[in-house]
Amino acid sequence: MRKFMSLLTVALVALFIAACGDDTNNTPVDNTQLPDETVTDDTTVDDQSDQSDPTDQTDQSVTDETVTDETVTDDTVTDETVTDDTVVDNETPDEDTALSYTFGGKWAMLNFTTSNVTTTIPVLGEQKSTSTTSAYFLVELTDNGDGTVSAVATACDTLIDSGSNLLTVTISDNYIAHINPMVWDFATILDRSGVGYDLTATDVLTVNGVNLQNPMTDPLPTDKNDPAVFDQDEDGHPGMTVDCNGNIPLVFNGPGTMYTVQRTINDLIGETKDDNNIEGALIWESQQNVLEASNSALTSEKTVVPDLANSWFKLVRLVDQNWTCAEIIANEGTLFPQ
């Protein structure tokens, strides 16, 4: 009797729904989930009992069997829903998985410096100019395998543009031949792209014409007879000899020489551009004292202010590892096009 009443109830509900029609746009959906206790044997619908009746409607309650993956939206973000395109990795790439970079071998190097110069010249007074220096080197790089790269740079050529028609300065081959090699270590670190490397070197020191107990900090001599001064270029004059040519009417016309002591300190902050090029900023300071000169105008008071925004360095790997300074000098324009 109880089963008959249940079937009768279901049939009445089905007739009622058929009479009203299907209006999915207006009929609210009740998403309230009934607790398990409200479902009893009395309300269980036996689908097998009336499969031939097309008007038979089953229980509209959502059961475990009717809930599929398509009807449930899980807003929880899982590992599978997060793609590489949506994640920004701000961490430094792991050097263990990065492509290696071959630093070792011979490179050509150009150190380009710009300075603003103020010189007080007899008769003419204060003169201002912008001077540039292009110093070319043959560099041997050695990867130490510990994140550092050692460099030994042999001077090849130095070209100075004084920025003034009053004076030209020439660095002779003899001067170049007597410059001690520059030696430094680059610290290298993988850049954020995970492809290239950043390189830094600090306090790269060059001292010419003088032996100082503390080369970085001791003042440069001003007297040619100072015991620290020596004839480094072996030409019979104190310090290092710089050749020049003057065009100062009534003061200095024609060739001349200066006997100097000099110190330069460089910081190199660069990056690998590709497999064969490294370049970056050159932060420098330099001091030069004229111990003696062929003309008093060459000992004039001078102030040099580095223009760091227009100073830089470049390293180019030599395709032919047998090249020497001679080949670098002959190919300066090709190696470092301006």
Domain locations along the chain: 2-86, 105-335
Strand pairing category for 302-306 and 105-121: antiparallel
Predicted pLDDT of residue 282:
98
Asked if residue 100 lies in contact with residue 135, where contact means CB atoms within 8 angstroms, the answer is no
Q: Residue 97 pLDDT > 50, yes or no?
A: no
Chain centroid offset of residue 240 CA:
37
Give per-residue burial for 222-241: e unless 16+ CB within 10 Å, then b. Answer: eebeeeebeebbebebbbbb
% of the chain residues with pLDDT over 70: 70
Looking at residue 131, its pLDDT comes to 97
For the stretch 166-215, pLDDT in tens is: 999 999 999 999 999 999 999 999 987 777 899 999 999 999 999 999 99
| Residue 329 structure tokens | 């000098």
Give residue 99's pLDDT: 60
| Long-range Cβ contact pairs of 88-94 (< 8 A, separation 24 or more) | 92/189, 92/190, 92/192, 93/190, 93/192, 93/193, 93/194
Lowest mean pLDDT among 21-35, 137-151, 300-314: 21-35
Q: Which of 202, 187, 188 is nearest to 101 (CA)?
A: 188
Give the pTM.
0.71
**Residue pLDDT, tens place only, 3-27:** 433 433 433 334 333 334 444 444 3
Summarize the chain as % helix, strand, coil (round to 5). 15, 40, 45
Residue 53 has pLDDT above 50, yes or no: no
Structure confidence at residue 274 (pLDDT): 94
Q: What average pLDDT does the chain have?
A: 80
Q: What is the mean pLDDT of residues 72-80?
A: 43
- To 5 degrees, how large is the angle CA 297–CA 299–CA 300? 70
Report the distance separating Cα 173 and Cα 162, nearest Å. Answer: 19
| Predicted confidence (pLDDT) per residue in 236-293, tens digit | 999 999 999 999 888 899 999 999 999 999 999 999 999 999 999 999 999 999 999 9
- Tokens encoding 18: 């058929």
pLDDT at 298 (0 to 100): 92
The answer to whether the CB of 155 falls within 8 A of the CB of 135 is yes
Higher pLDDT, 16 or 317: 317
- Residues of the chain with pLDDT > 90, as a percent, come to 63
As a whole number of angstroms, the distance between CA 267 and CA 152 comes to: 15
pLDDT at 114: 98
Give the DSSP per-residue string, 100-143. P----EEEEEEEEEEEEEEEEETTTEEEEEEEEEEEEEEEEEEE
Residue with more model confidence, 109 or 62: 109
CA distances to 19, 59, 73, 94, 153 from 67, rounded to whole Å, are 28, 14, 11, 45, 75
